[in-house]
Chains A and B, each alone.
Chain A
Amino acid sequence: MKRKSTKIILKINEAIFWVSVTILLSINMSPEAQAPDPTCAHPFEEPGISGKIVEPCIMVIFGATGDLTARKLMPALYNLAREGQLPPQFACVGFARREKSHEAFRQEMHDAINSFSRVKPIDETLWAHFKEHIFYHTSEFHEPEGYNRLRTFLQELDNQLGTKGNRVFYLSTQPSFFPLICENLHKAELIYDIYQTQDKWSRVIIEKPFGHDLNSAYSLQNELVHFLSEKQIYRIDHYLGKETVQNILIFRFANSLFESLWNNRYIDHIQITVAEDIGIGSRGNFFEEAGLLRDIVQNHMMQLLCLVAMEPPVSLASTAIHDEKAKVVQAIRPFQESDYETSVIRGQYDAGFINGQDVVGYRQEKNVSPTSNVETYVALRLFIDNWRWAGVPFYLRAGKRLPKRATEIAIVFKDPPLVLFQQEGKRNEPNTLAIRIQPDEGTSLKINCKVPGPSSPIQPVKMDFRYGSYFGMSPPEAYERLILDCMLGDNTLFAREDEVFNSWRLFTPILEHWTKTKADFPNYKSGTWGPKAGDELITRDKRKWRLI
């Protein structure tokens, strides 16, 4: 154990005392460099019952004046503090270009929490304490001196608050800044080498998108690994922080009932839908560069697909789960050129009606080209060529300005082998298990049932479990769980590099094809379920999209 003594000023009752403070530096291996040994339980910890222990740390948010900080990150930190989940030795430093005092930043964050927190209004007593741990640092992202000043400031906070040099850097900026910020953090010695620095840790949370195609993802990764180890990179996909998404694993692997049917013998096909009724709003610039496939399909939908299709992991360890997810994406049959027009459909919304109100078309949105070729709808069919899923089509669709906001996974089962109850050539409805991710979170199962009476008609009925009905409390926001996991050094709910690369490998040829070919846009009216070609994609297989 190393001991380092330093003198700092401590204010007590308005008087200033010089106090000799001993900071104890542990020589334990850093968490990134060493896997935990479950057999060495701490005597005060009881697995499954004790709360998780978060080490002291400072979280620095790059892009602190942006929307994400106000709407999600700061409310998440506040709620973690409210529930006693943050360590007392904690600070949050906002890093952005605009000149601002700590106090002004705190006031903005106070208002943001009051507007966007899942628990409102803000608890002023708690806030009075919490705000003392919020700071603001002005600097340009490209200015090395700003990072040196940041280092000095963080060291001061370490001394004041006992945050022990541990850092979470949250990059809530445009992706083009990721390498630059990491390089400057590295130059300012704010990112620690996990094999040389063992008494403190630094981790970087990176917002999506991670690259805009396979090559750029490789190139971004190559740039980042100059300054960071893969173990320090936390690629956030907020879908994975959602309770309902995490519940997919519980649903599948804690219930023997469904897992025994979870294969090509019993499942006819699977539909995954991510529908939004909103348009692109103020994100015109971003969307013109990204498009829906990059924004939703390549990341969120692939994560949902992986969780639905993966094999049981050998344990709940992060590596075991990531390994199984990565195998799913590896096993997806690559799209051939012949599939580009038939198995992958793109669309763009035109003017129409949402909830009876007029809405403009995509090309009329702010910061969007009037001749834009960017997709706001994608439907695709893919196959996973492995033992479990051979021959089972997965239909994915996502879009903006669809009739309603709904994200769900539907498992459509095959008909019984012998149709005893077929009536005049009419097929019975297939059993369908729908996992609703948002809103109206829950699970429903459609089964066939005899209508009372002598003629025995068969009627499909629905058994429905709604999270809101059973667990009336408001669940933690995805960002709360993900930020906490990063502080704990648990990257299970973050995307691993191979998952990201494999996903880009699948979709980059399509993106390239779309760049080369002009689409006949717009091709669906706002407020409808997408273009005709999207319906044809599935009706061609004698199936149909679920009406959600």
Chain B
Amino acid sequence: MTLTTQVVSPAAIQDTLNKIWESLETTNVTRASLFNLIFYCKKNNRTAYVQKLAQKVIEKFPSRVIFIAVDTQSKEDFLKTEVSILSSSKGEFDVACDYIQIEASGPSQLRVPFVVLPHILPDLPIYLAWAEDPGLDDPLFNQLNTFASRLIFDSETTDNLARFCTTLMQNYETTHTDIADLNWARIENWRDLLSMVFYSEENLDRMQHAKQIAITFNAQESQFFCHTRIQAVYLQAWIACQLNWEFKSLRTQKESMLFAYQSKYSPIEVSLTPILNAKLPPGLILSLAITTLDGHTYSFSRDLEQIHRITLHSSDTQSCALPVTYIFQKAESGHSLVKEVTHRGTSKHFLKVLNLLKNRENLGIC
């Protein structure tokens, strides 16, 4: 909830914020800032979605938000700034934090870092949520990148996943700044689930003897999401990396992507098949079926009515086990970003996935 908004000149940002807070002194509003959270996106119809994400984060973690929206289409030379107070309106106290919005035209965007820098709260981490494709050689990204303590990307914004992975790896290797991707965070539930199901030695052994994996995902696009395969690509890549499978090939067959790997026991084929379902979030993984060399099958399927419920049917040639239903934590919009913000460091598993997927030019995502 925005308490108040004022358009100001860049030079007056801090003074205006101070005045707003002074005016709130007699109220029950507490000012809090856990970290600096810088959002960057282009000014288009996705901007409102990214702003909503910012609101979701500060509801959990009040922070100084600096929201940058660049109008790359505009030929005018403008840079507008406004300040407001965002309130979470939750909990025992009414907690609020600073929100600084910077809107710039393409020609003015190089002035943006000079507006951002003086308004970073010292001694607090700086999280840069880059809601655009970092594969582009963006001078603004290169400038903001230098002082970020953690970079959070959304691979949804890329047209080329292989290039995205290459850029992230290169950035990590050169700057050692922690990196994260929201699509990676979005499959955390699946990773935890597989970890739980294949926790025992015998189940892990069976998994290592997999010969076929079939994943289906929701290919229905929305206004803000059109790269619906990425979560499925990440999930299969994670399995392959963690089980030390060697990548062999990638091809497409009709609508499906087919990955071929080699384990120390056998070749493995992984298929990613799109399914259209307008009621479900884009990219959502709907099912995962694993078949092993000795005929065991593990079939995970999502309840299409209650999408946080996943049922596992497992069987072998002789018997079948009782179906088991797992419950994922209910996720709201922005949930993945909130989780990524709370993690420290860079996931080593994610780095392995990036390594596997970089340079696979035939990933062709959109």
Q: In the complex, which residues of chain A have a beta carbon less than 8 angstroms from the beta carbon of B330? A: 82, 123
Decide: B327 and A126 in contact? CB cutoff 8 A: yes
Decide: A472 and B95 in contact? CB cutoff 8 A: yes
A49 within 8 A of B: yes
Bound CA span A46–B192, Å: 10
Decide: B306 and A125 in contact? CB cutoff 8 A: yes
A24 within 8 A of B: yes
Decide: B349 and A46 in contact? CB cutoff 8 A: yes
Decide: A21 and B191 in contact? CB cutoff 8 A: no
Contacting B322 at CB < 8 Å: which of A10, A24, A84, A129?
Answer: A10
Contact digits for B342-353, partner A, Cβ 8 Å, 1 yes 0 no: 011101110000
Q: In the complex, which residues of chain B have a beta carbon less than 8 angstroms from the beta carbon of A387? A: none
A188 within 8 A of B: no
Decide: A471 and B321 in contact? CB cutoff 8 A: no
Contact residues, A281-340 vs B (CB, 8 A): none
B146 within 8 A of A: no
Contacting A42 at CB < 8 Å: which of B34, B199, B308?
Answer: B199
Shortest C-beta distance, B270 to chain A (Å), equals: 16
Shortest C-beta distance, A476 to chain B (Å), equals: 13
Pick from B60, B192, B309, B318 the residue with the most CB of A within 10 Å.
Answer: B192
A87 within 8 A of B: yes
Q: In the complex, which residues of chain B have a beta carbon less than 8 angstroms from the beta carbon of A129? A: 309, 325, 327
Decide: A53 and B325 in contact? CB cutoff 8 A: no
Counting chain A residues whose Cβ lies within 8 A of the other chain, the interface size class is: 35 or more
Among residues of A, the one whose C-beta sits closest to the C-beta of B327 is: A84
Q: In the complex, which residues of chain A have a beta carbon less than 8 angstroms from the beta carbon of B325? A: 88, 129
Decide: B324 and A46 in contact? CB cutoff 8 A: no
Shortest C-beta distance, B315 to chain A (Å), equals: 9
Shortest C-beta distance, A24 to chain B (Å), equals: 6
Among residues of A, the one whose C-beta sits closest to the C-beta of B58 is: A472
Contact residues, A133-169 vs B (CB, 8 A): 160-162
Decide: A48 and B344 in contact? CB cutoff 8 A: yes
Contacting B62 at CB < 8 Å: which of A44, A161, A472?
Answer: A472
Q: In the complex, which residues of chain A have a beta carbon less than 8 angstroms from the beta carbon of B242? A: 43-44
Decide: B62 and A470 in contact? CB cutoff 8 A: yes
Q: With A20-B319, A21-B322, A22-B321 as given contacts, are A53 and B195 in contact (CB-CB < 8 Å)?
A: yes
Q: In the complex, which residues of chain B have a beta carbon less than 8 angstroms from the beta carbon of A466? A: 30, 93
Contact residues, A444-501 vs B (CB, 8 A): 466, 468-474
Contacting B329 at CB < 8 Å: which of A53, A83, A88?
Answer: A83
A28 within 8 A of B: yes
Pick from A28, A45, A123 the residue with the most CB of B within 10 Å.
Answer: A45
Interface residues of A (CB under 8 A from B): 1, 5, 8, 10, 19-22, 24, 26, 28, 42-46, 48-51, 53, 81-84, 87-89, 123, 125-126, 129, 160-162, 466, 468-474
The 4 A-B pairs of least Cβ separation, nearest first, read A44-B195, A43-B242, A84-B329, A51-B192
Interface residues of B (CB under 8 A from A): 30, 32, 34, 59-62, 88, 90-93, 95, 189, 191-192, 194-196, 198-202, 204, 242-244, 306, 308-309, 316, 318-322, 324-330, 343-345, 347-349
